[in-house]
Structure 1
Amino acid sequence: MVDAVQITDAAFFESPIIFMEPVPKSSVQLHNGLLGGGNLWNAKGDRPSFGYTDREAQRLREYVINRGGFIYMPTHGNTEAAMQPAMRVLRQILPEYHLTTIPQDHEIYNSFYELSGPLRFPVRKIGSTILHHGPYRQLQGVFVDDRLAILVDTEAMMHVMDGAVQKPFFGHYQDRNRILDEFAPAAARQLINVIIYAVTHGNISDYSNYIPASALVDGEIESAPKRLPNAASRL
């Protein structure tokens, strides 16, 4: 069973961040090459014209461009094959925007934890099987009016977290589970930065005045907002 957000959900536009995950077609029920019920992203289809309906694509555009939503897309590397599902989605919903490299000093690396830049997926291959494709480099994204609106995480930090819980390696490669366990806290810090950035930018949630508790301890209480963010009234 695949638990996925529906594009047609009434609350779709109220989500400050959406996680898009490639889903193999064998694990879900397809209808005319699309995920049944309008799920967000399927990596494979039965026909070359596979994609969203016009209404679905328009709702995704509305979410990203006008509502200020944020989309997180993990990929297993940055080779052409690894990036193909993400590029297919971006070409359909945002053809006029270009995927670019996120600068090393971008705010997303310092929105909560101070990181020196993106992390590197710790397990690149198992025997002759490549798990993560392509050389390491900075992450990629789509900017809308100087706001990072879509993050393509070519180092798949979310999969580090998954692996730390699921323990996917066995036999001679069980020690790779320990690597994921040790790396998981660092991956969590990067994902927390992503989430904090998403909820403090755009128009869906009003946390633009968010100040970490550690900053208050350091004596910045005078600069703290005097009222709760508007988004808090909806909690």
Structure 2
Amino acid sequence: MLSLKNNSYCSKNSKNKNMTYGIVGLGRFGSALAMDLASAGAEIVVMDKNEERVRTLREMTEHAYVVANLDKKTLIETGIQNCDVAIVCIAEHLDTSILTTLNLVSLGIPRVIAKAATAEHGVILEKLGAEVVFPERDMAIRLASRLENSHNLDIVQLSEQINISKTIVANEAIGLSVRDINLRERFGLNIIAIQSGDIVINLITPDYRFKEGDILFVSGSKEGIFKLNRWLNS
């Protein structure tokens, strides 16, 4: 295993530091996450038992480690305990996922996120104190929403109750006001922003009238968003 001799770059006591992320497991999900974060300028610590995967990420961070196991001592040697966020991306191996999540939470990392393979796995991870993500399920929900509704550009599920949808305004709504379509009363949805051309409006008044090409960002339940989609399609 490679040890981190100097992890001051993500020391919690350093001034003006950037957000730092620790990523455990470099499969498809973990590698894509690491590359996106690094491309966005974030500082990352990554680790995996597969040397080839780690070697690929060394092009993006000098803090990439081959680890034989993920016990607490090994995790501390990588310096991951000094990161702001740690993400466990090894859902396929339940025992390792659960133990690693427990160790990261116990290290006092402010935010621990763990990928879950099943609902039951997710419940256990939540009880350990982690935020849980279901990448495959979330992607399926987003794809299904786009297939079912030609107006829907994207949907992000934040929780069972809170979803954010990006939707093109239907032709029938052009010229109508926010008050006229009344999404809150009809579908239980709130408009959080409207993109009109190159302008994003986040202070929405009831008198705003929709224009051709406007894009709505709404939040609410998945059921409410699906009802909105059906209304747009009809």
Normalised to the residue count of structure 2, the TM-score between the two structures is: 0.29
Query: Counting strand residues as a fraction of each chain, which structure ranks higher?
Result: 2
Q: Using CA pairs below 8 Å that are at least 6 residues apart, which structure has the higher relative contact order? A: 1
Normalised to the residue count of structure 1, the TM-score between the two structures is: 0.29
